[in-house]
Amino acid sequence: MSDREAAVRVYVKAYNTESGLFVAACDEDVLGLRLVDESRGINFYVDPSFFKGEVLDVDKAVKVLRKASMANIVGNSIVGRAVSEGLVREDTVLVVNGVKVAMFVTL
């Protein structure tokens, strides 16, 4: 983990569903942002009621994501780490206003 990653805090909220563990995770600095790109028809709100859970460092957040069967991930640090850990493919990451957004489902 880099020094920058060590300083990053991630909100992680877990939901137990019939389909398995669903995790919402976002970098602390993107919580509450509305990511809009009208040219692509994107309007994504990083809703605190959905994402704001336990505050963890990036390493601990990745450990929770590894247990998930589904996840929504927002923020350059946590999405970048999810890619480097093989949880998300780089070519599936959406970038809106410079902020990375990713989702995954395991079968």
Instruction: Give the pLDDT means over successive 10-residue stretches in the chain (107 positions).
Output: 67 96 98 97 97 97 98 98 97 97 94
φ, ψ dihedrals at 34, nearest 5°: -110, 120
Residue pair 10/27 in contact (Cβ under 8 Å)? The answer is yes
pLDDT value at residue 107: 80
Count the Cβ atoms, other than its own, within 10 Å of residue 50: 15
Is this model's pTM higher than 0.95 or not?
A: no
pLDDT value at residue 23: 98
pLDDT value at residue 6: 58
State the Cα–Cα distance between residues 75 and 15, nearest whole angstrom: 20
| The token pair that represents 32 in the structure block | 């509450």
pLDDT value at residue 8: 87
pLDDT value at residue 88: 97
